[in-house]
Amino acid sequence: MADSSEMQSKIDAELQQSKRDQQDSSFLETLVPIPDFFFNIKAEIEPIGGSKWRIRIFGYILYFITLCVMFGSFAYYSLPAQRVSLESIVTSEWNKPGFACKPLQKTTLHGLSTDWSFDECVSATSSPSAESIVSVQKNDGSTQFDFRFAAKDGSTGTLSFYDIWNAKSVETTTWEKEGFYCRPLQKTTFHGLSTDWSFDECVKNVNIPDATNIKSVTKHANYVHYDYDFASDGDSNKGIISFYDDRYASSVLQKTNQASDDWKRDGYSCYPEPPYDNTFNVRYNHSECLDVVLPPSAATVQSQSPNGYGFSYHPFGNEGTLGYPCSASLASRLYTAHSSCPIMPPCSGSCQCMYAKFLPSGAVFPTTCDATKPYYVSGGGFYLGMQNSLDATGSITLDLAIKGWNDILNTQADQHGGFGNEFVCSFLKLNGNGFRCFDKPKPPTTKELAIQRYASEYPPETICGPIKQNGPFRCKPKEEPPTTKELAIQRYASEYPPETICAPLKLNSPFQCTRNVEVPATTRLSLSVAAAQAVFALTGIALVALLRKLQKPSTTTSESLSTDGDLRSMMRKLRLTVDRLDSKIDHFGTGQDQLRTDQDQLRVGQDQLRVGQDQLRVGQDQLRTGQGTHEELIQKLLSKK
């Protein structure tokens, strides 16, 4: 009894220690299970439910299901749809051999917002056609042709030769730039034409001088001149060049108190300013006069009366209003040179000598000197007329008057000068309205001469020269956008193929590149085994739970043990139970999870731990019962002996 009490005390102490160890280490061992090989897993363990054949059937079912799942999974992963997997990498390169690359973000391609890859863009881009080339009115009012190459999600990709051409324009202060044509940013006015033409446009639009654009125009003093209408930009905006106007604009009017010097200016040609206010009221200056004075003739010698009494000489013909000018001094000079009378006394008082007649040399007038009238020569002769002109008088013929006038003009010069052209032209050095002096040549007097001079002196490059100074300029490429839809289709097709349009997408990094690769057989087998293991564990848990529900409580009592065989069997069971209890108590110090025998039992360790605890309680009860039975058996054995 003492041994039994000690054994019972020892068992109780070990059970208490096992409970304390279980409470102290259960959480840690749950997180970090102790491997099975630290436990005596080969020791006999009572099956759950107490029926080995039931466990064996469940085990066969478990393995069958596991094998079916493994081979079924392998067959599934070997199907064509599952045998290929998607491989993906992210890179900065738009193209990778064997991969299909697509940008990870959107970009804007000529107005089209898209995340297309380069290849997708090329396949989605339409070709230029009458439908995809549309006419658009731009901000400057011009109609241009744009190419709508693609559309996606409400946005449209559009290319425009005009927009690209206009975007390349630059602003500069020079009128020309290589590869560009330059146009001023503001209008300028030259020769009356207000325009913003470029230099090249101006040269192109200038009309070559001909009979249609050289126009006759009446200018100052009712003189006709010829102007050049070189260009027009509307009916009221015309460019006109005039030799006369240019000459007049640079002229200088000289009208000073020193009237005797107004007729000349260094480097200039001076002419009387109209309306002419000189002796003859003509337009000629002194230099021109010397060449235009007409000699006495039937056209220049005019009769002063119907009866042929008096003939005046007009040096400029009908152009002049006054005849050959005369004065007392001139009459005296001529009288001295031509009179056949005695020396004439000097004129005085009313200047009676002004009316003294004289004859030129060779005249056939009757010449008689009247002693009583020394200042008078009877018969015909010349005298100073009432209009300050020298007139031939007497009953003479026109021919005699012409001869007489030639003799007068050819009279030998005296100390005061001659009596011909020089004398006549000296009166043109004075003009009441002054003289206008020019530094440019005279304008042409006929249309033919005007055409020649305008063509030689005003070529288009000279006319358009002022435009070069009309800066700043905006310069645009010389290759302009197409002007018709047909040309637009051709140019878009040649200059913007899909590869060129989509080229910016190559820079839209990063890119995700993917490809399909075949899953190796080893990987498929590993996946199948993993699936089988999962099914094995889950099915095992379900079967164990089912066994627990089917388990019946033990009905063994002391009354059923009536024979020696039953006693010996019970003793063996008791010893086994004690050994199991000792083994379990020892194993509790190292962890509950060591009760499992393989990897699947590790996953259901907590359930087995609870089973072990139940078995421990049952064992304790059996131990107590066994101790009592043991004592009864000993008493029976002793009594039999």
**What is the CB neighbour count within 10 angstroms for residue 189?**
12
Q: Which of 480, 467, 479, 478 is nearest to 174 (CA)?
A: 467
pLDDT band for position 584 (50/70/90)?
A: low
φ/ψ region of 424 (left if φ > 0, alpha if ψ in -120 to 50, else beta) reads alpha
Round to whole Å and give the CA distance between 398 and 150. 103
pLDDT score recorded for residue 134: 93
- Is the peptide bond between 472 and the residue preceding it cis, with omega within 30 degrees of 0? yes
Where is pLDDT greater, at 311 or 265? 265
Q: How many CA atoms lie within 13 A of 13 on its CB side?
A: 6
Average pLDDT of the chain to the nearest whole number: 77
Mean pLDDT (whole number) for 370-399: 52
Q: By the 8 A CB rule, do 185 and 474 touch? A: yes
pLDDT score recorded for residue 98: 85
Alpha-carbon distance values, 7 to 10, 34, 432, 582 (Å): 5, 30, 168, 12
pLDDT score recorded for residue 376: 34
Burial class (CB in 10 A: 0-12, 13-18, 19+), 121: buried
Q: What pTM was computed for the model?
A: 0.52
Length of the chain: 641
Which pLDDT tens digit goes with each residue over 79-100?
887 777 788 899 999 888 888 8
pLDDT score recorded for residue 378: 38
pLDDT score recorded for residue 105: 92
Q: How much of the chain exceeds pLDDT 90, in percent?
A: 27
pLDDT band for position 367 (50/70/90)?
A: very low
Q: Is 539 helix (H, G, I), strand (E, B) or coil?
A: helix
Mean pLDDT (whole number) for 487-504: 93
Mean pLDDT highest for which of 164-168, 372-376, 459-463, 576-580? Answer: 459-463
Q: By the 8 A CB rule, do 116 and 505 touch? A: yes
Query: How do beta strands 107-109 and 112-114 pair?
Result: antiparallel
Round to whole Å and give the CA distance between 100 and 516. 10
Where is pLDDT greater, at 282 or 16? 282
Q: Which of 491, 474, 494 is nearest to 168 (CA)?
A: 474
Query: How do beta strands 84-91 and 252-254 pair?
Result: unpaired
Q: By the 8 A CB rule, do 540 and 604 touch? A: yes
Q: Look up residue 112 and give its amino acid.
A: L
Six token digits for residue 366: 């009757």
pLDDT score recorded for residue 454: 94
Which pLDDT tens digit goes with each residue over 197-215?
999 999 999 999 999 999 9
Mean pLDDT (whole number) for 387-400: 63
Angle at 15 between CA 11 and CA 19, to 5 degrees: 170
Which pLDDT tens digit goes with each residue over 440-472?
999 999 999 999 999 999 999 999 999 999 989
pLDDT score recorded for residue 295: 92
Six token digits for residue 512: 């995700």
Query: How do beta strands 100-103 and 170-172 pair?
Result: unpaired
pLDDT band for position 7 (50/70/90)?
A: low
Q: Is 107 helix (H, G, I), strand (E, B) or coil?
A: strand
Q: Is the pLDDT of residue 542 over 80?
A: yes
Q: How many CA atoms lie within 13 A of 472 on its CB side?
A: 7
Q: Look up residue 544 and give its amino acid.
A: V
Which pLDDT tens digit goes with each residue over 100-145?
898 999 999 999 999 999 999 999 999 999 999 999 998 888 899 9
